[in-house]
Chain A
């Protein structure tokens, strides 16, 4: 940061500009409202100050005024509501084909897993101009992923995945804060988002240490845990085949249908009895406590890779209500 006394946060994502525009609108609206009310009060206070020989005039009210100053603010409020809702909808709808980065929060650090296999702690490198979808979970308490320069924030909950996305627009290094109080070093749970030009980013990818792609790591997990014994690919095993499962509806034993999203895959590994696929028996062992969050992420990435080309791979069914489609951000 060059400036020592900035009054406006840096704009570094596609959302930031939209949000600042709403902010400016709200600021102007507040300025106008405050000026109007405070001027009126001041004028009344001076003009109608108590003087000898002048009595107050008793006025009981006015229905027209009351209706007016109820309905007009309500109209303005609804405009703000709609404006805010549109931005929110945009913020919560990751575009298709985003780069998916798995994020694990714990007291008091951030851990990132890139699809190419790079891992980072408290630092996340992303290229300019690419949609990045974060799949976040927490290992302990609730944290919150907050990048002021991107104007995004998402609470990170233990025991399930939530998502957030952004498209960085400006190279630089930005603060990553934990915004949900999480214990002693809450204020020390800081990170950096390093936004790079695509070419620099490629260099970074090439030079940074890699463990093989995330899906590949997931595949070796899958084999080590003995999953292929039942989940076969060519023939039907004792468990359902996992090809093309992700992103598609699954019919359950009790007749319900669920979309196989990240949370479904997660639950099916950790607590397989919760949702049994129709036609199969509940014989899979429980993996709760046997895989940690990062291994879990690898497994999810692997199962998802089995659905390529995906039917809406970047979709985020947990947070998008049924019937809505992921949308592309405007350029």
Chain B
């Protein structure tokens, strides 16, 4: 590893200006992406710490490590932090912010100052959440179900709700920026059919941001009013309907799952062609499946409510639509697999994450089919089966995608290579740790262990011990990249402009890119993923 001090370094977005002000007042989308990277990493480790405490508590059937109320706060805040402060902003706000303008060949997003504003909204909401946690926290579950949240708990529901309300506007503004930029600021020649698939999935995600998040905002606002002024809108003793809250909540929070998984799918759609040296198989089907997922994703919310007391007919309706939304997801998996056919495949860290993604997402998706089956859902909903299922999607899918993408674009972001051997090791540890943590939970769920249980009957213990053991391995797997990526900032090998030999406009500029991304506005005359025209650089390891 060369620790070369390059004296005549080119001017780029990192060294063009120094000092705290130049970061906190930046309107450069790449710097804002790094601000987001730091903030979501912070929240990821807080949320992860809560998860570890929960897993430790569940090591024994009795509630012995923490109090019941503490445990209830732990899973609530784990959920709220991971969903609203890590997963939802993770890929869109970090990789999306960094890549969208470069992938479309623009100098910046359409509204750079609004972009900065959305980071400040995120930080403001985040500080509020931290304040809420430090001064007592919330114990309603991340779902805030009424009437418990409005009339029974005495924890800080209003503050937590408000912080999520605020961070929601950060998502809305990010989505707005992406949609406008992708529509209006593409480089000459970059038609819709030439867009990288990451942009298609980011576009689909942004649509959900725009149409879903406002509904969450108003729902939380009504919840806050209800709790503060006892309006009665969700209060059964005053004629209100607690199920209305669930409908409104899931109208956003189900599509929110696709906010998390779609960008990860986009990342995988970039990585697999690059390391297979092939155009992605069935480009237009992969692109359209993202849009289909975003659209159908809005029509399946009540499948979270099959035992909540909704009518038989609406249950049937939402069940069948849930199967429809599974089709585009399956199409993606098949197309990624087919992309590898007759490729020239190498196994750098990003590719390992992408393959891990396919595996875990397939399991997560298949168990989704279990849950969408009405009668089956009755038995396993609100048990660990559901916990395992959505962690396979959100952690096995979204987080694997995020880490894969971070490794893939790290040379572009930092100008340095991360240490490859460590990268592969961490990917393997994450994969093993993840499966050990969450696979036993499928069995636990079918056995009947309900979620959000502080103590549990002793027959569930063995599987819980497996799960807790896995979670410690997983924690190591997540700490490793943070360490070696920080290390690589100073000691990593200098990356060239295009170390992977990847297609895409972002690789046609320097690493790290200059402040305005391109010296001249590029003109696109080629199709996406033209890997037949790009040689694989020699540095990428050969497989024997």
On A, residues with C-beta under 8 Å from B are: 1, 3-9, 15, 18-19, 22-23, 26, 29-30, 33-34, 37-38, 40-41, 44-45, 48-52, 54-62, 65-66, 69-70, 73-74, 77-78, 80-81, 83-92, 107, 140-142, 144, 146, 148-149, 151-155, 157-160, 162, 175, 177-188, 190, 319-321
16 examples of A-B residue contacts, CB within 8 angstroms = A29-B369, A41-B359, A44-B340, A50-B277, A59-B279, A61-B338, A66-B331, A77-B326, A77-B369, A88-B374, A153-B307, A153-B379, A159-B236, A179-B383, A181-B140, A186-B72
Known A57-B342, A66-B282, A87-B375; contact A3-B459, beta-carbon cutoff 8 A: yes
Shortest distance from the beta carbon of B289 to any chain A beta carbon, whole Å: 9
Q: Is the CB of A187 within 8 A of B68?
A: yes
Question: Chain B contact residues: over half helix, strand or loop, or mixed?
Answer: helix
Shortest distance from the beta carbon of A231 to any chain B beta carbon, whole Å: 25
Known A73-B330, A184-B69; contact A51-B446, beta-carbon cutoff 8 A: no
Shortest distance from the beta carbon of B72 to any chain A beta carbon, whole Å: 7
Q: Is the CB of A73 within 8 A of B326?
A: yes
Known A37-B362, A44-B337, A159-B237; contact A19-B375, beta-carbon cutoff 8 A: yes
* A contact residues around B340 at 8 Å (CB): 41, 44-45, 48
Shortest distance from the beta carbon of A27 to any chain B beta carbon, whole Å: 9
* B contact residues around A321 at 8 Å (CB): 311-313
Q: Is the CB of A184 within 8 A of B243?
A: no
* B contact residues around A8 at 8 Å (CB): 446-447
Q: Find the A residue at minimum CB distance from B285.
A: A66
Shortest distance from the beta carbon of A214 to any chain B beta carbon, whole Å: 23
Q: In this assembly, does B18 line the interface, its C-beta being within 8 Å of a C-beta of chain A?
A: no
Q: Is the CB of A65 within 8 A of B148?
A: no
Q: Find the B residue at minimum CB distance from A52.
A: B542
B 60-72 binary contact with A (CB < 8 Å = 1; else 0)? 0001000011001
Cα A7 to Cα B444 with chains together (Å): 8
11 extra interchain contacts, Cβ-Cβ under 8 A, other than A44-B341, A81-B372? Answer: A26-B376, A48-B342, A50-B542, A61-B281, A62-B281, A69-B331, A78-B323, A84-B319, A84-B377, A85-B373, A87-B374
Known A58-B531, A158-B236; contact A80-B369, beta-carbon cutoff 8 A: yes
Q: Is the CB of B452 within 8 A of A186?
A: yes
Which of B152, B236, B311 sits near A160, CB closer than 8 Å? B236
* B contact residues around A74 at 8 Å (CB): 323-324, 327
Known A23-B446, A58-B279, A179-B450; contact A184-B330, beta-carbon cutoff 8 A: no
Cα A87 to Cα B338 with chains together (Å): 36
* A contact residues around B381 at 8 Å (CB): 153, 179
Q: Find the B residue at minimum CB distance from A85.
A: B374
Cα A301 to Cα B333 with chains together (Å): 55
Q: Is the CB of B147 within 8 A of A81?
A: no
Q: Is the CB of B141 within 8 A of A181?
A: yes
Cα A80 to Cα B374 with chains together (Å): 9
Tell me the chain B residues, 313-354 only, with Cβ under 8 Å from chain A: 313, 315-316, 319-320, 323-324, 326-327, 330-331, 333-335, 337-338, 340-347
On B, residues with C-beta under 8 Å from A are: 63, 68-69, 72, 139-141, 145, 147-148, 152-153, 236-237, 242-243, 276-279, 281-285, 306-309, 311-313, 315-316, 319-320, 323-324, 326-327, 330-331, 333-335, 337-338, 340-347, 355, 358-359, 362-363, 366-367, 369-370, 372-379, 381-383, 443, 446-448, 450-459, 462, 531-532, 536, 540, 542-543
Cα A33 to Cα B326 with chains together (Å): 14
Cα A60 to Cα B529 with chains together (Å): 10
Q: Is the CB of B462 within 8 A of A158?
A: no
Known A59-B341, A85-B375; contact A175-B312, beta-carbon cutoff 8 A: no
Q: Is the CB of B448 within 8 A of A148?
A: yes
Q: Is the CB of B453 within 8 A of A60?
A: no
Which of A38, A84, A142 sits near B376, CB closer than 8 Å? A84
Shortest distance from the beta carbon of A199 to any chain B beta carbon, whole Å: 29
* B contact residues around A319 at 8 Å (CB): 311-312
* A contact residues around B346 at 8 Å (CB): 49-50
Q: Is the CB of A153 within 8 A of B443?
A: no
Known A7-B443, A45-B345, A179-B382; contact A186-B453, beta-carbon cutoff 8 A: yes
Known A56-B531, A146-B448; contact A88-B345, beta-carbon cutoff 8 A: no
Cα A190 to Cα B374 with chains together (Å): 25
Cα A91 to Cα B345 with chains together (Å): 50
Cα A55 to Cα B533 with chains together (Å): 11
Q: Is the CB of B543 within 8 A of A50?
A: yes
Cα A138 to Cα B454 with chains together (Å): 22
Q: Is the CB of A184 within 8 A of B307?
A: no
Which of B277, B283, B454 sits near A186, CB closer than 8 Å? B454
